[in-house]
């Protein structure tokens, strides 16, 4: 009897499934096997209580149109899809993002975003709909403002918008609604802020509502971007069905990598559950040179999400039940230089890696975990991390396992402009 079959029997206590001996050259302990089973399949998408159109197909269609609409940018050239490109698994292949200007962080994939409680590398948004509003007003990304966004919806998408949300405010009334404007307390004498504060509070609120709804339809679209089954999922399904070889869906090398991942290398401490991410923030202690400037990560993100105008607990949310926010303590010392654990689904397809895109290849990431060079400039490296001292064949095995998480992506293409 093959070792993997034996360990399966130990784990399940059942009779030997029929079939030939395992192709596996590795053994999984009962504990490792239980870990493996917990990584697949992805469950149904969780609900999004703060967004009442999250699962509405018409909202998703409007969100798709807006996702590709370059008119939602100051230079008429940037849409969400500029950086989240369907053909690149909703990333851009760049070290750091380039919108209207160059940013400081790497573009994450949007696949499976609905399985995360926090958006952005620092989790400064707690919903996918409020996340979308950040890049639209970011000077580095779309560089637009919410009043222009409301006009754009009014001029080009009024009918589908009103079918979902009811009558729009009279945005063609130029006495009440200026051409542009947004709150920008950092520059109180700037034109954006002056135009915004000249509006009545009720009209500001009406614009905010349109702006939030733009985020909500974009979320409805993004909720269609579910990661597709990978070879790893097919392997787990086969093992679960009693085929100890995993249906041959993983090579022996990838299987050895899987064993390391759930076993000695302890990757599952953080990359766990079917999204291969723990929904939490950790400092890996990536070395930083002073000239790069410090990115404080979650220490700043946690404060920002609590005070965010469009968070789950705010006036534009469709729920008041926001446990994640309620239990968030922004003073948690381990938030210093901590970033969100990314999902590893599709990871071989979404280089470069880490919040700042510092690693071009998976081997570079694995070499980092192997040696843990340098010290973080502030705070401390997550204490569970120890240099793994991986040899070349172990690195190759882990890489082969990570590659088994690849899958085709759901396609999306722009509808004809309206
Ligand atoms: C200029 C490139 C660029 C554009 C344009 C852009 N994004 Fe992003 N997106 C990024 C980067 C970079 C991040 C990570 C930023 C951070 O963590 O601070 C990100 C993060 C996200 C996230 C969070 C994902 C996660 O795993 O945390 C979502 C969701 C998202 N973007 C959706 C959108 C939508 C919707 C639009 C259009 C309204 C958009 N993005 C426009 C580059 C871009
Ligand atoms: C202590 C928690 C923790 C452990 C243990 C851990 N990771 Fe990570 N991993 C993270 C975090 C957090 C990031 C993002 C860090 C950043 O950008 O600053 C990350 C990033 C990555 C990335 C880059 C993904 C991307 O899209 O940029 C890969 C690949 C990765 N980890 C694989 C592994 C493997 C393989 C192991 C085991 C050898 C492992 N991780 C162990 C928390 C962890």
The residue among 19 and 209 whose pLDDT is bigger is: 209
Cβ(150)–Cβ(157) below 8 Å: no
286 CB near ligand 2 (under 6 Å): yes
pLDDT of residue 248: 95
The residue among 216 and 25 whose pLDDT is bigger is: 216
Q: Say which range, 90-94, 202-206, 210-214, 377-381, has the weakest mean pLDDT.
A: 377-381
Query: How many CA atoms within 13 Å lie on the side-chain side of 385?
Result: 18
The residue among 99 and 17 whose pLDDT is bigger is: 99
The pair of structure tokens assigned to 67 is 């996702």
Instruction: Tell me what the mean pLDDT of segment 115-138 comes to.
Output: 95
Indicate which atom in ligand 1 lies nearest the CA of residue 121: 17
pLDDT of residue 291: 67
Maximum mean pLDDT: which of 134-148, 254-268, 368-382: 254-268
Would you place residue 130 in the very low, low, confident or very high pLDDT band (cuts 50, 70, 90)?
very high
Distance 80 CA to ligand 1 centre (A): 7
What percent of the chain clears pLDDT 70, i.e. is strictly above it? 93
Query: How many CA atoms within 13 Å lie on the side-chain side of 360?
Result: 0
Would you place residue 26 in the very low, low, confident or very high pLDDT band (cuts 50, 70, 90)?
low
In the predicted model, is pLDDT for residue 406 greater than 90?
Answer: yes
Instruction: Tell me what the mean pLDDT of segment 51-66 comes to.
Output: 98
Would you place residue 12 in the very low, low, confident or very high pLDDT band (cuts 50, 70, 90)?
very low
Nearest-CA residue for atom 37 of ligand 1: 80
Cβ density class 93-122: b for 16+ within 10 Å, e for less: eebbbbbbeebebbbbbbbbbbbbebbbbb
Would you place residue 376 in the very low, low, confident or very high pLDDT band (cuts 50, 70, 90)?
confident
Distance 276 CA to ligand 2 centre (A): 10
Would you place residue 92 in the very low, low, confident or very high pLDDT band (cuts 50, 70, 90)?
very high
Would you place residue 21 in the very low, low, confident or very high pLDDT band (cuts 50, 70, 90)?
very low
Would you place residue 22 in the very low, low, confident or very high pLDDT band (cuts 50, 70, 90)?
very low
Structure confidence by residue, pLDDT tens digits, 152-170: 999 999 999 999 999 999 9
pLDDT of residue 288: 81
Distance 341 CA to ligand 2 centre (A): 6
pLDDT of residue 10: 40
In the predicted model, is pLDDT for residue 206 greater than 50?
Answer: yes
pLDDT of residue 124: 95
pLDDT of residue 287: 86
The residue among 140 and 190 whose pLDDT is bigger is: 190
pLDDT of residue 20: 35
Distance 133 CA to ligand 2 centre (A): 27
pLDDT of residue 47: 96
Instruction: Tell me what the mean pLDDT of segment 254-275 comes to.
Output: 97
Residue at token pair 């097919």: 234
Indicate which atom in ligand 2 lies nearest the CA of residue 337: 18
Name residues contacting ligand 1 (CB within 6 A): 78, 80, 82-84, 97-99, 103, 105, 107-108, 110, 113, 116, 119-122, 128, 131-132, 135-136, 141-142, 218
In the predicted model, is pLDDT for residue 24 greater than 80?
Answer: no
Instruction: Tell me what the mean pLDDT of segment 309-331 comes to.
Output: 95
Provide the mean pLDDT of the chain.
92
Distance (Å, rounded) from C-alpha 226 to C-alpha 400? 23
Instruction: Tell me what the mean pLDDT of segment 2-30 comes to.
Output: 47
Residues with Cβ within 8 Å of residue 227, at least 6 apart in sequence: 42, 111, 112, 343, 345, 346, 407
Peptide linkage before 41 cis (omega within 30 of 0): yes
- Could you report how far apart the first and last alpha carbons of the chain are, in Å? 64
Residue at token pair 């130990």: 10
pLDDT of residue 290: 64
Nearest ligand by distance to the CA of 286: 2
User: Cβ–Cβ contacts within 10 Å for residue 209, how many?
Assistant: 16
Nearest to 401 by CA among 229, 232, 227: 232
């Amino acid at each position: 009897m093959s070792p993997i079959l034996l360990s399966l029997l130990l784990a399940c206590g059942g009779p030997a499934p029929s079939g030939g001996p395992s192709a596996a050259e590795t053994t999984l302990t009962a504990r490792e096997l239980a870990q493996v089973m917990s990584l697949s399949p992805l469950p149904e998408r969780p609900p999004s209580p703060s967004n009442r159109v999250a699962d509405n197909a018409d909202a998703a269609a409007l969100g798709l149109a807006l996702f590709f609409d370059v008119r939602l940018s100051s230079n008429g050239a940037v849409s969400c899809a500029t950086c989240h490109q369907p053909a690149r698994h909703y990333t851009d292949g760049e070290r750091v993002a380039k919108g209207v200007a160059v940013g400081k962080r790497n573009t994450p994939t949007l696949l499976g975003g609905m399985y995360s409680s926090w958006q952005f590398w620092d989790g400064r948004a707690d919903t996918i709909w409020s996340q979308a509003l950040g890049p639209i007003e970011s000077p580095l990304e779309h560089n637009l403002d919410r009043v222009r966004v409301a006009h754009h919806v009014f001029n080009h998408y009024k009918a589908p918008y009103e079918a979902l949300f009811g009558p729009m405010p009279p945005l063609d009334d130029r006495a009440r609604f200026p051409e542009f404007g947004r709150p920008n307390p950092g520059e109180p004498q700037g034109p954006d802020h002056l135009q915004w504060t000249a509006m009545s509070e009720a009209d500001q609120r009406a614009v905010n509502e349109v702006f939030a709804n733009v985020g909500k339809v974009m979320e409805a679209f993004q909720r269609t971007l579910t990661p597709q089954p990978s070879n790893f999922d097919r392997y787990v399904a086969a093992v679960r069905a009693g085929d100890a070889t995993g249906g041959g869906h993983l090579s022996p090398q990838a299987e050895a990598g899987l064993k390391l991942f759930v076993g000695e290398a302890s990757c599952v401490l953080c990359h766990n559950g079917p999204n291969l991410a723990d929904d939490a923030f950790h400092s890996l202690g990536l070395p930083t040179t002073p000239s790069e400037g410090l990115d404080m990560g979650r220490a700043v993100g946690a404060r920002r999400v609590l005070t965010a105008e469009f968070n789950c607990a705010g006036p534009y949310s469709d729920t008041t039940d926001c446990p994640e926010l309620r239990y968030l303590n922004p003073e948690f010392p381990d938030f210093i230089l901590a970033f969100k654990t990314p999902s590893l689904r599709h990871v071989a397809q979404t280089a470069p890696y880490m919040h700042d895109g510092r690693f071009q290849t998976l081997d570079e990431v694995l070499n980092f975990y192997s040696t843990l060079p340098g010290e973080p400039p502030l705070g401390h490296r997550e204490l569970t991390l120890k240099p793994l001292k991986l040899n070349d064949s172990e690195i190759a095995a882990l890489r082969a396992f990570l590659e088994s998480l690849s899958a085709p992506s759901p396609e999306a293409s722009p509808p004809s402009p309206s």
